[in-house]
Amino acid sequence: MVTFIETLRSPIERKAMATSPTTVLRVPPAVAGVDRDMDMSQHPAAITARGMNFYYGENQVLFDVNLTVPERSVTALIGPSGCGKSTFLRTLNRMNDLIEGTRCTGEVLIQGQNIMEPAVDVVLLRKHVGMVFQKSTPFPKSIFDNVAYGPRVAGERNRAILADLVESCLQKAALWEEVKDRLGESAMALSGGQQQRLCIARALATNPQILLMDEPASALDPASTSRIEDLIGELCANYTIVIVTHNMQQASRVSHQTAFFFEGNLVEVGPTTQIFTSPSQKKTEDYITGRFG
């Protein structure tokens, strides 16, 4: 079996390892703060999806998905384009409500409440479950006003409280040092990587427990990507993170748990080390070794 990790090695290295009787499979180093062998069963669940089906009109795109996301950990959702991983992510804060003609059955429990029920206040839900998008989406406002947006919408008017909050969120997003002298300037003037960290700071400002990230680094250069990955490692001490990524090295670096989606089905989920070194499903193995997708 050729695992994903082996594909990262040079052919000579691979040959040497193949001949060695005691081949030890190692995943690339994880970012600080991520323990990829963590025993998930010991952690309380932040999100529990049960029997989830999702439809765009008549077209079913998710089939009976069951997934538990432990608190204060990173779960990576991987799979080829169109496999339903983004759709799944966007049901967790009911973002798909904005798209006409979508329908969802099954249940998603967050803090014991089924968020799929019509009685759920999606505005409150989304304050609790923040989201960062693939394309950075700063509002055409100042850096300060971008971060203060969420608290202001929630009714916070006190300038001093807002200033403290903006500073702490920018610090958590590792952006404070770069922008502290120009908070009044337009956020549109920041670089792509800075804009994405600003969006993370902005999401943190509503004080969420859960952070959803939809390919947050796919539009960024390698240096900015690595900053975002380090940031994910820091944030998972306090937040539950679910990240969709196309980059399997990224999934292996930043996540405790990896879930592989294929054609609308959740094929396999497990500790990241296990998924990348000894997946139980043939499909998973084929995908992470690059045989398709």
Partner 1 sequence: MSTARPSMFQRSRSANPKEQLIHVLLLCCALVSILTTLGIVVVLLRSAVYNPGPKTAFFEEVSLGEFLTDTRWKPVERSQLSPEADQGHFGIWPLLSGTLMVAVIASLVSVPTGLGAAIYMSEYAGPRERSFLKPVLEILAGIPTVVYGFFALHFITPMILQPVLKHVFGIEIGLFNVASAGIVVGIMVTPMIASLSEDVLRSVPRSLREAGYALGSTRFDVSMRVVVPAALSGILAAFLLAFSRAIGETMAVTIAGGHKVLFSVNPFEEMRTMTGYMVHQSFGDNSADSIQNKSIYAIGLALFVITLSINIASQWILRKFREVYQ
The residue ranges that bind partner 1 (CB under 8 A) are 93, 95, 98, 100, 123-124, 126-127, 130-131, 133, 135, 137, 139-141, 149-150, 152-154, 188, 199, 202-203, 205-206
Residue 220 contacts residue 228 (beta carbons within 8 Å): yes
Whole-number Å distance between alpha carbons of 120 and 97:
12
Q: Nearer to partner 1 by C-beta: 5 or 244?
A: 244
Place of tokens 């991987």: 78
CA dihedral 108, 111, 114, 117 (to 10 degrees): -120
Distances (CA, A) of 47 to 11, 43, 71, 274: 41, 11, 8, 21
Residue 18 or 189: the one with the smaller Cβ distance to partner 1 is 189
By beta-carbon proximity to partner 1, the closer residue of 127 and 256 is 127
Q: How far is the CB of 114 from partner 1 (least distance, A)?
A: 19
Nearer to partner 1, 187 or 269 (CB): 187
Closest contact distance (angstroms) between CB of 57 and partner 1 is 14
DSSP-H helix ranges across 122-277: 122-128, 143-153, 159-172, 176-179, 192-204, 222-235, 248-254, 272-277
Question: Which pair of structure tokens corresponds to residue 225?
Answer: 């990507």
Residue 44 amino acid letter: P
Are the C-beta atoms of 261 and 84 separated by less than 8 Å?
yes
Cα–Cα dist 152/112, whole Å: 28
- Given a contact cutoff of 8 angstroms between Cβ atoms, the answer to whether 65 and 98 are in contact is no
For the bound state, the minimum distance from the C-beta of residue 85 to partner 1, rounded and expressed in Å, comes to 17
Minimum CB separation of residue 129 from partner 1 in Å reads 9
Least CB distance to partner 1 at residue 276 (A): 30
Closer CB to partner 1, residue 153 or residue 161?
153
Residue of 98, 97, 115, 94 whose CA lies nearest to 106: 115
In angstroms, the CA 126 to CA 285 distance is 35
Least distance from C-beta 138 to partner 1, angstroms?
8
Our CB check for partner 1 shows the closer of 206 and 257 to be 206
Number of residues that this document lists for the chain: 293
Tokens, residue 163: 């200033």
We find the least distance from the C-beta atom of residue 73 to partner 1, in angstroms, to be: 21
| Closer residue to partner 1 (CB): 31 or 205 | 205
262 near 283, Cβ under 8 Å? yes
Q: Which is nearer to partner 1, 90 or 283 (CB)?
A: 90
CB of 58 to partner 1, least distance (A): 18
CB 266 within 8 A of CB 260: yes
